[in-house]
Amino acid sequence: MTDMDKLLSLAKRRGFVFPGSDIYGGLANSWDYGPLGAELKKNVKDAWWDRFVRQRGDMVGIDAALIMNPKVWEASGHLANFSDPLTECTACHTRYRADQIDMSAACANCGKKGTFTEPAQFNMMLKTFLGAKEGTEAVAYFRPETAQSMFADFKLVQETSRKRLPFGIAQVGKAFRNEITPGNFIFRTREFEQMEVEYFVHPDDWEKHFEAWLQELKGWLAFCGVKEENLHYNEISEADRAFYSKRTIDIEYKYPFGLKELYGLAYRGDYDLKRHMEKSGADLRYTDPVTNEKYLPHVIEPSLGVDRTVLVVMLEAYHEEQAPTSEEGENDLRVVMRFPKALAPYKIAVLPLSKKEELAVPAAELAASLRKRWATDYDETQSIGKRYRRQDEIGTPYCITYDFDSLQDQAVTVRDRDTMKQERVKLSELEAYLATNLGF
């Protein structure tokens, strides 16, 4: 299992993820994605969008506002029910979720016992104010989930896209929750990103669509390089499910800090559309153009966290191994991030064997040419062995070495990240070679 301290060290050292506002001492559980992390995160979102929206004829996407009319959250029940039990240590004033600690034990921060207050419900909606004055009439909320905008926009989306049921609305976007105890790196943060689908179906057909989406999520996890042995499918009992749900599965992952939720798949029934129809007065029923049946669709919801996906992809990719002595004497421990090629921040690195102009100039030109098609790095500092190690550590699938022989034979050496095998490839055949091996 990957050590979290090692992953955090690599994430900061190589520019994947580092503490937000770092020069000011940071902000509790605030993380910024650096140059490589931003590429990795974008690749995850782009791959998800391509897989679940562009490649399907029954899906459309939206990009809704972060702040909605507060009546949305009243209708959805968030204002009344979106809360966690909060307790506070009266000695040091550290706050905890009461359902995640033993309240009879000592405070983890100050070590004193018997100091916890009685649990009180704490609403996790992040409040803000709109307009020049702060008052009750100006209160608004940053959305705690992306789902409600898809329900509120259902009628407009269905009518403008002219989609027939079953069909889904997808969205990738930020959400905000004033968590009592965020933590474990980017696993739980107050500001996060979701990839969600609300899939609208006939009430009689929900079970087959639920099973279909479960298989879709399994396929996506395999694409992301997640080993099945690290996953657990937790069928939520009736007692623990939301009252409107007939079935919910939490897909859990074996993180270094324990088995915890990665994704969720829920059957939400018609609860959300019914509530919004009642509160808004808008008719959100769907009319079947063939049978003329008019009904409120039921909903299957696959909900995926972008940040948790990035974390799991990094955990699965991290490998340590003793490297052979064949690469320029670099026989120390090799750290390699074995990202799926489609998700790797850089697909290719071009490495001139020498910084001399006769090699550096054509090598830089080659990198510029490849950059038009693939994310490509260029590195000419330190020994070739150290540069290979550096690219291994950021997960670049292919390194291309431009050497003195390249000036004569018009060929380069291509090194595979995972096998470390090297192959001589003609420059005229290089793009075709990379397209075949990268798969795109």
What residue ranges do the domains of the chain occupy? 4-70+151-314, 327-438
Question: For 4-70+151-314, which CATH superfamily applies?
Answer: Bira Bifunctional Protein; Domain 2 (3.30.930.10)
| pLDDT over 70 at 152, yes or no | yes
Q: How confident is the model at residue 255 (pLDDT cuts 50, 70, 90)?
A: very high
H or E element in which residue 411 lies: strand 411-416
Pairing assessment for the beta strands 298-305 and 333-337 based on DSSP bridges: unpaired
CA distance 126 to 166: 34
* Cβ atoms 298, 203 nearer than 8 A: yes
Can you give the pLDDT at residue 86?
A: 79
Separation of alpha carbons 14 and 33, rounded Å:
11
pLDDT score for 91: 86
**Mean per-residue pLDDT for 32-40?**
96
Max intra-chain CA distance, the chain? 79
Question: What was the pLDDT predicted at 294?
Answer: 97
**Distance, first Cα to last Cα, the chain:** 31
CB-based contact 149:107 (threshold 8 Å): no
Q: By the 8 A CB rule, do 389 and 331 touch?
A: no
Neighbours of 247 (CB within 10 A): 17
Mean pLDDT, residues 91-96:
84
CA proximity to 339, closest of 262, 200, 438: 438
Residue 119: band (very low, low, confident or very high) from pLDDT cuts 50, 70, 90 = confident
Do 411 and 427 meet the contact criterion of CB atoms below 8 Å apart? yes
pLDDT digits (tens, 9 = 90+) for 358-414: 999 999 999 999 999 999 999 999 999 999 999 999 999 999 999 999 999 999 999
What is the CATH architecture assignment of 327-438?
3-Layer(aba) Sandwich (3.40)
Query: What's the pLDDT band for 28 if we cut at 50, 70, 90?
Result: confident
pTM score, whole prediction: 0.89
Q: If you average pLDDT over every residue of the chain, what do you get?
A: 92
Lookup: tokens for 86? 């909060």
Least confident of 126-135, 223-232, 412-421: 126-135
Cα(101)–Cα(434) distance, rounded to whole angstroms? 52
